[in-house]
C-alpha cells in the first residue's frame, strides 16, 4: 500500500483526503515511478470542483511529476531501473476519459512515451514544475506557426505557463520583442525572465498599449479584452476553455516526452529555467494549503509539492 491524496466526490479542496491505496503494477510499456516531486495545475482543482470529463472515483489529483524508475514493464526500451525521469502523465482515451491521473502519490504508473530523462542540472522540484505548462506553451507557438523575428504580447507573464512562454519566445523561437503583463510587485521578476517590455496591469489598460503585436498569447483567459493589442488579423492564443474571445485560437497541449527531450539542451544551458512559487515547495502533508494558494490565482510560477514519503520500492514478478 502507499499514501495518496484523493477525493471521492466533487467539491472544494476540503474533499481531499490523505489515505492508502494499492501500488499499481506496470504493464508491458509502462514504468512504475517513485515520485520525488509533483506540481499542481489549475486543471487539478477544476476537475475536482465539477464533472468536466468522465471520471471514476476515487481520484488521485496531479498531472506533473519527477521521480525515479523502480519497476519497468517487459517491453520498455527507453528507460532502466534507477533512471530519473519527469513528465505529464495526463492522458485520455478516445472517449475522453482519463487513462491515468495521480501524481500526488508515492508511486505512479506511466506510459514510457510520456516521460523524458530528467536533466542532471535540474532538481526534482524544478523538473516537476515543467511538463504540463511547457507542453502547453510550446503548443501555442506551434499552432500559429510563430516565426523568428515576430513580436509577442504575453498576458499573465508571471504565471505557470506565462513564465515559460516569455522564456521560450526569447530563447527558442527568436521573438524580436516580448511584452508581458503582470502585477506591480512582479514587474522586475518578469523582466528577469527576458521580457523586453512589461505592462503593469494595475496601472495600464490594454487600450493604452501603443504597440501592436504579431501574436497575443493569453494565459489567463482574458482574450475578450487583450485582443486589442494584436495587429490586424494577428492570431490570439487563449489557453483557457472556452476562450473568452470567440476569435481566439484555443491552445491545449500535446502530452509527449519527446517535447521535453527537445527542451533538454535549453534547460542544461540555463536558457530555460523552471520557476517555482516562492511559497513552496510544499510538503506532501500540506497539499490542501498548496491548493489554497494556487486557487487564489496569485501564484508566481508553479506550485510544487515535495518531501514525499520514502518507502522502499515494491517488488513485482515480471
pLDDT at 94: 58
Question: How many angstroms separate the CA atoms of 265 and 43, rounded?
Answer: 28
Span(s) in the chain for CATH 3.40.50.720: 133-250
What's the pLDDT band for 54 if we cut at 50, 70, 90? confident
Torsion of CA 231, 237, 241, 245, to 10 degrees: 0
Q: Model confidence over 166-185: pLDDT tens digits?
A: 999 999 999 999 999 999 99
Question: How many angstroms separate the CA atoms of 110 and 29, rounded?
Answer: 9
Which CATH fold topology does 133-250 show? Rossmann fold (3.40.50)
DSSP readout, 78-121? Answer: S--TT-EEEEE--EE-TTS-EEE---SBSEEEEEGGGEEEPPTT
CATH 3.90.180.10 for the 2-130+274-306 domain, yes or no: yes
pTM, 2 dp:
0.92
Q: Model confidence over 266-304: pLDDT tens digits?
A: 999 999 999 999 999 999 999 999 999 999 989 999 999
Span(s) in the chain for CATH 3.90.180.10: 2-130+274-306
Question: How many angstroms separate the CA atoms of 82 and 67, rounded?
Answer: 9
pLDDT at 251: 83
Amino acid at each position: 500500500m502507499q499514501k495518496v491524496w484523493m477525493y471521492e466526490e466533487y467539491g472544494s479542496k476540503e474533499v481531499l483526503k490523505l489515505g492508502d491505496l494499492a501500488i499499481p503494477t506496470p504493464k508491458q510499456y509502462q514504468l512504475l515511478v517513485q515520485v520525488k516531486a509533483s506540481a499542481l495545475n489549475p486543471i487539478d482543482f477544476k476537475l475536482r470542483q465539477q464533472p468536466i470529463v468522465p471520471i471514476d472515483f476515487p481520484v488521485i489529483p496531479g498531472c506533473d511529476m519527477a521521480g525515479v524508475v523502480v519497476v519497468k514493464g517487459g517491453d520498455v526500451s527507453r528507460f532502466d531501473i534507477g533512471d530519473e525521469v519527469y513528465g505529464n502523465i495526463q492522458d485520455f482515451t478516445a472517449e475522453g476519459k482519463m487513462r491515468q491521473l495521480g501524481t500526488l502519490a508515492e508511486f505512479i504508473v506511466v506510459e514510457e512515451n510520456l516521460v523524458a530523462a530528467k536533466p542532471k542540472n535540474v532538481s526534482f522540484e524544478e523538473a516537476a514544475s515543467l511538463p504540463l505548462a511547457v507542453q502547453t506553451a510550446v503548443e501555442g507557438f506551434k499552432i500559429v506557426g510563430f516565426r523568428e523575428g515576430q513580436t509577442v504580447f504575453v498576458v499573465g507573464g508571471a504565471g505557470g505557463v506565462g513564465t515559460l512562454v516569455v522564456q521560450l519566445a526569447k530563447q527558442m523561437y527568436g521573438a524580436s520583442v516580448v511584452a508581458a503583463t503582470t502585477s506591480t510587485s512582479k514587474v522586475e521578476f518578469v523582466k528577469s525572465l527576458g521580457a523586453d517590455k512589461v505592462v503593469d496591469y494595475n496601472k495600464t489598460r490594454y487600450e493604452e498599449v501603443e504597440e501592436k503585436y504579431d501574436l497575443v498569447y493569453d494565459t489567463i483567459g482574458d482574450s475578450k479584452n487583450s485582443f486589442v493589442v494584436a495587429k490586424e488579423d494577428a492570431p490570439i492564443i487563449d489557453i483557457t476553455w472556452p476562450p473568452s474571445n470567440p476569435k481566439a485560437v484555443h491552445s491545449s497541449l500535446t502530452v509527449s516526452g519527446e517535447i521535453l527531450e527537445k527542451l533538454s539542451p535549453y534547460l542544461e544551458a540555463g536558457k530555460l529555467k523552471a520557476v517555482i512559487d516562492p511559497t513552496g515547495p510544499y510538503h506532501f502533508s500540506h497539499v490542501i494549503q498548496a491548493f489554497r494558494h494556487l486557487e487564489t490565482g496569485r501564484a508566481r510560477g508553479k506550485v510544487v509539492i515535495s518531501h514525499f514519503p520514502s518507502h522502499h520500492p515494491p517488488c513485482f514478478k515480471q
